Amino acid sequence: MTRAATAINRAARRVPPSLIYVAAVLHIFWLFWQGQTGGLGPEPINALEHALGETGLKLIVVGLAVTPLLRLTRVNLVRFRRALGLTAFLYVTVHLLVWLVLDVGLWSEIWADIVKRPYVTVGMAAFVLLVPLAVTSNDRSVRRMGAAAWRRLHRLVYPAALLGAVHFVMIGKTWALEPLVYLGAILALLALRASRGGRDVGDSGIRTGFQTR
């Protein structure tokens, strides 16, 4: 282990994972406050949707990168992975609620949007895949389901992440670089997993996903 990795690991052990939840909630409130005070530009609802969805996608990518980072650099951020996954789900859920309540508004039009707009269909599919992961991101679910079944379920994070990135790409009217970077990062993580024969475990035996185990 390098000195840098040792220093990072030592510092990380001093940071409680609960700080991630606190920071996420404060950031979400700050985004809404910015929207109310004109800080999000002339289209605050669209800007709010974008900021929430993109932050959720970033957190998913970071969570997926924890195990490869551990294996390649010995930097161990595993204790933060559950918090990363659950805060990602929080951002995505609020992103969805903003779209439902503040953007579309009319419930009669929601189903029409889901069916007729491919990017909405893809985004909704990603959210549906994330729901069981968030619900079972606790030690009790691991015990009730059994470790093997629980790990199989949490592999859904990969297609969910991929669909989320595709949703981000499809929203843009042009081929913007930023969404493609997220898509490329997720594809790279998938390729890395495939190169290990489909195994998503690191040298420590810790799996990727929303869990800490």
Spans of all domains in the chain: 3-195
Token pair for 34: 């910015």
Lowest mean pLDDT among 10-19, 100-109, 112-121, 137-146: 100-109
For residue 208, the model assigns a pLDDT of: 39
pTM: predicted TM-score of the whole model, two decimal places: 0.89
For residue 202, the model assigns a pLDDT of: 39
Fill in the amino acid letter for 97: L
pLDDT in tens, 31-78: 999 999 999 999 999 999 999 999 999 999 999 999 999 988 999 999
Q: How many residues does the chain have?
A: 213
Q: Coil, helix or strand for 202?
A: coil
- For residues 136 and 150, the answer to whether their CB atoms sit within 8 Å is yes
pLDDT in tens, 85-135: 999 999 999 999 999 998 887 777 888 888 889 999 999 999 999 999 999
Q: How far apart are CA 96 and CA 98, in angstroms?
A: 5
